[in-house]
Amino acid sequence: MLKLHYNLEKISMGLVIGIIAAASVGGLVEIAPLFTIAETVKLPADLRPQTPLELAGRKIYMREGCYACHSQMVRSLADEIDRYGPYSRAGESAYDHPMLWGSKRTGPDLARVGGKYSDQWHVAHLINPRSVVPASIMPSYPWLTQSLETELLPDSLATLARLGVPYDKAMIAAAAADAPAQSRPDSEAAGDFAKRYGERPAVRAFDGDPSRLTELDALVAYLQSLGTLTSVQNTPPVEAAK
């Protein structure tokens, strides 16, 4: 062995190939099967893709680095289930490019935060967390009252559609209009929005002001959607795996 290595050290391409070979095995064994086995590729029947407004909110969540302090992955441990709710299933994040499971909980897990608080609470909390939770160390985000950019939404939906998220042509074409529509419950556009996305997504003035579409609208819509895109987490594991 030692002799063999003694000779290998004289050939740089030999080392290069050896390194690539040694470093490839583990990744191939662990990653490749994930694209085929039922546990990981099974889509929950009721999983809905995010609406354009929620998707815009997700982008803001990433932009502001909320994921650095908040996880979105309830582990299958008793205390986590008691604290946050049903543990997370693989299918829940099937449309998440990228996933936002996170690795640090400076703040609580958000996988089940949808519906936990009112919109007003979120708005006040985001603008200044200490106004509602005096001991909070979460940063303030007063600039989220600025208006939301919707120009990129059609292309964003089109890109996701190419990656396999079920957005149809009509959804892509109307994405820029559907974002404000979701925050104007009494408008005509809201009716068109409901035709495309069904009755499940909430249609409300998330930031309390239907006349303006702000980043707060998007982020709060996103937060309120967390844990509500499917109900697979409420089924017993055996059935979910089927």
Partner 1 sequence: MIATLTVGERRTGAVLSVVLAVMGLAMAGAARHQVMAVHGFMAFGLGIGLVILLGGAVFDPDTTDGRQNRYYDAPTRFGIVMTLVWAVIAMGVGVWVAALLYWPEATPLWPATSFGRLRPVHTTGIIFGFGGNALIATSFYVLQRTSRARLADSVSPWAVLIGYNLFCFWAVTGYLMGSTQSKEYAEPEWYADLWLVVIWVTYFILYLRTLARRNEPHIYVANWYYLAFILVVAILHIVNNLALPVRWSVAESFPIWSGVQDAMVQWWYGHNAVAFFLTSGFLGMLYYFLPVRSGRPIWSYRLSIISFWGITFFYIWVGSHHLHYTALPYWVQTLGMTFSVILLVPSWASAGNAIATLNGAWSKVRDDATLRFMFVAAVFYGLSTFEGSFLAIRPVNSLSHYTDWTVGHVHSGTLGWVAMIVFGAIYTLVPQLSGRREMASPRAIEWHFWLAVTGTLVYVIAMWNAGITQGLMWRTYGQNGALSYSFLQSVQAMAPYYLLRTIGGALFLAGAILCAWNCYLTVRTAHGEAIDRPLIPEPAE
Q: Which of residues 101-130 bind ligand HEM (CB under 6 A)?
A: 103-104, 106
Residue written as token pair 């997700």: 58
Closest chain position to ligand HEM (CB): 103
Q: Is 66 in the site for ligand HEC (CB under 6 A)?
A: yes
Q: Identify which of residues 104 and 169 has a Cβ nearer to ligand HEM in the complex.
A: 104
Is the peptide bond preceding residue 98 cis, with omega within 30 degrees of 0? yes
Of 131, 137, 150, 152, residue with least CA distance to 217: 150
Which residue in 34, 131, 166, 168 binds partner 1 (CB under 8 A)? 34
DSSP state of 211: T
Tokens found for residue 214: 């702000």
DSSP state of 147: B
Tokens found for residue 202: 């909430």
Binders in 102-141 for ligand HEC, by CB under 6 A: 106-108, 110, 113, 116, 129, 133, 136-139, 141
Binders in 116-135 for partner 1, by CB under 8 A: 129-130, 133, 135
- The neighbour count for residue 10, using CB atoms within 10 Å, is 8
Stretch that binds partner 1, among 148-156, 172-180, 194-202, 218-226 (CB under 8 A): 148-156
Binders in 52-91 for ligand HEM, by CB under 6 A: 68
Q: Is 16 in the site for partner 1 (CB under 8 A)?
A: yes
Q: How many residues bind ligand HEM (CB under 6 A)?
A: 4
Q: Is 26 in the site for ligand HEM (CB under 6 A)?
A: no
Which residue in 20, 188, 236, 239 binds partner 1 (CB under 8 A)? 20
Tokens found for residue 24: 């490839």
Are 206 and 221 in contact by the 8 Å Cβ rule? The answer is yes
**Residue 123 to residue 215: CA distance in whole angstroms:** 11
Are 225 and 112 in contact by the 8 Å Cβ rule? The answer is no
**Residue 222 to residue 114: CA distance in whole angstroms:** 8
Positions touching ligand HEM (CB under 6 A) are 68, 103-104, 106
Positions touching ligand HEC (CB under 6 A) are 61, 64-66, 68-70, 106-108, 110, 113, 116, 129, 133, 136-139, 141, 219, 223
